[in-house]
Structure 1
Amino acid sequence: MIWKIQNGHISFWWDNWTGYGAIVTYCPDYVHSIRTRVRNFIIDNEWDLQSLGHIVTGWLLHHIASIKIGSQHKKDYLMWKLAADGVFSNKEAWNGIRTHRKKDLFVDMPVDCLCCSNAQPETIQHFFIESEPALFLWKYFGQPLGISYQVQLVRAFLHEWWQTRSKNEMHKMIIHVIPVIICWIMWINRCSCRYGDQKKFYIRRMQQEVIWYLKAAMDKAFPNFKMELPWLQLCEVVEKLKPRANITQVTWSMPTGKIKVNTDGSYNNHGNRAGIGGIARDEAGSMIFAFAIPVQGASHNMIEAMAIRYAAQWIKNNGYRQSYIESDSLMIVEMLTNRTSNNLTIKDIIEETMNIGDQMEITFKHCYREGNQTANFLAKFASSKENPSLSHNLQQMPRGAFGAYYLDKSQMPSMRIRYDKANVFVS
């Protein structure tokens, strides 16, 4: 847990507000009064580095200087470092302290199987792949899907199923769900025979149980499609299905009598690279200012919030009132318009942006990504560079953004295509 500094009422010595534990562990020779507050070392919402320099030095002083101070009118709050949103949960706490061991859910069982006419040692390999019920079920459901039965280790066998190329979303779901259902039906029948009153494996009944479970899953995912055909014919029909495309024209809208700043964020978790981009335009769609700035952040939402905050600060610095900021991040826009944030990791960014928005009467709006392509390019451009790019005219703006900029200015629409997975038709 780490404290986020706002009014600084927490203990200077004993609370973890630096991220490195209590300050007392680094300064054992000082008198550690519990009445010493963090706010005692803050002047005009800035760190009093002169007073801090008498207590801590070196890397710790440099680190404290980099800690951002929030609003002095609000209370300090705790953030849970193990959670992405900073909110404590028992699940994250347990995962943080537990000892993770390699799970071996299926172990070889030194008994004879109950599933074959000639009993064999009941191993996982035999039971789920090579037994008589397994052989029947895998062939019956696999062959119409174009998946041939080959004896392999369990992991390789399932991997081959799940890597089979699908024709559409429904076909993909069937391929992914069938192995899970077959293994589950095999297991519950095994337990019924070994520990219950069931005397043997009824293969035909198991076949119908697989179909019933599959139908229940498909009805949830695709309520408009009814599985009423025999399995072979059903597979032939499903392979021919194509989703209905919902096509919408999306056009960047010009601000009426005001300026509008479109923003976007680009975040690459694996490459640890991020960037924010945006473009400010007048009511004629002409560029006023554009930015593409490499940044560091912990999540995509944080980068999106940083892009909007930068745009709000630019609006304030240049004295534009009653302007618009538009972003394709619906989550961040809703936080700003609803004036609330459940994500503690970006709470300070949201609150700072809201304060600027109140001062400058900024309206925050959501737009589709297809109507935000210029800002999208600038953000991606920034994430691939080391230095910021600030453009005050078209000649300074990265050349790759020209195409999207002129399309927006000429009010040329882009096509937003979305497929309704639950609404399909036969080709």
Structure 2
Amino acid sequence: MKKRKKRQMKKDRGFRSLHDMCLPKSEGGVGLRSLHEVMNALFGKLWWSFRKSTSLWSSYMWNKYCKKQHHTVVTGTGPSHAWRKMLEVRGALYFIEDTVIGEEEVEVKQFIVNGEWDRQRLSNLISEEMTDFIVETIRTIIEEGALDIPWWMGSKSGKFTVKSAFERIRRKKEKVWWWSYIWSKGVPFKINFLLWRSWKGIRMEGGLQQAITKWWEEATKPKLKAIFQVIPAILMWELWKRRNSRRNGREVKYETLLQQCQEVVFKLVKTLYPWIRFQKSWENLVEVLKEYKPKLYYQAITWVRPQMGWKKCNTDGAIRGNPRESTYIFCTRNIQGRLVYAEAQRLGIGNSMEAESRAILRAQQHCQNNNITNVIVETDSLCLSKIIKGEWRIPWQHTEEID
């Protein structure tokens, strides 16, 4: 009975468990990651390496634990701790179709006709949902003598990532409507955390919740609205400090409390909008943010013809979403601005950086194959321009293409 009362007292005072905190902010958590779930994601990477690799370790594990059974249906734990954890994670990573195709071995190339997926045969063996995913997402590439490889459905590129495995394995909850109001930008974590803890733990009266919600839902200009949303958190933080000071024998007057709240608001505005000038008064701050109109700057950019003896090559990459189906294109023009050569090709699933870099690579290969010298290459990708000039470092996932 005493333990139950003690737990109830902790709950009423706003104590939260680590279990509740290890959730994304959009799902009511603090944004921490559970080490147990991270460990499972890493074991998922180990399982994927075992499934895809043909290394000595993979062959050893296959012969020791799988024997004559398929890796997706093998049972038994075995003496190895790593193997037991791999089997536990396997259930979260794999989706087993109910359709049984018997003992016959099938290869991916048997489902491709004239470079396109055979939807009818796919739907005879797997579900309609899985058929749609394969047809819309996976490219049909056949290489002579190549073995079938697994495709990771957690990412559009088909490549395994620990991040996508963590998202599939972790505990999930429904998204809450108030998370974007509590976790405001430019405010110290401790202030946001106090409001989160109070909102979830303390039994607030209806009037207090209505007062906080009124600040959040105030209809005003966007920049002023961002400040209004933070006001409840700042007020609760300063009231909490005043309460602690009074308990330790130091009185804090109302005027001092109000001044401290305003100082925090002024610092927040300087952090979020350092270019806005205002006087240190609440009335002036509200007026400036209400009347603020951003200055728009523009610059006309035109294509310039190359000099005598030179040619210009313009490259571009297009993508529907990121990552989604991508395409590259490039063209070369002479000193009169006339088109000399143009090339475009679909790349399949990828991201914008891959499409832009592939366009420059193909343009360079075209010039080398046709002995074209004195070429100026122009791209609309600021990131690639900085990387090629050596001002930025190459992202590790694009090292092979750019280097």
- Larger strand share, 1 or 2: 1
TM-score (norm 1): 0.47
- Larger helix share, 1 or 2: 2
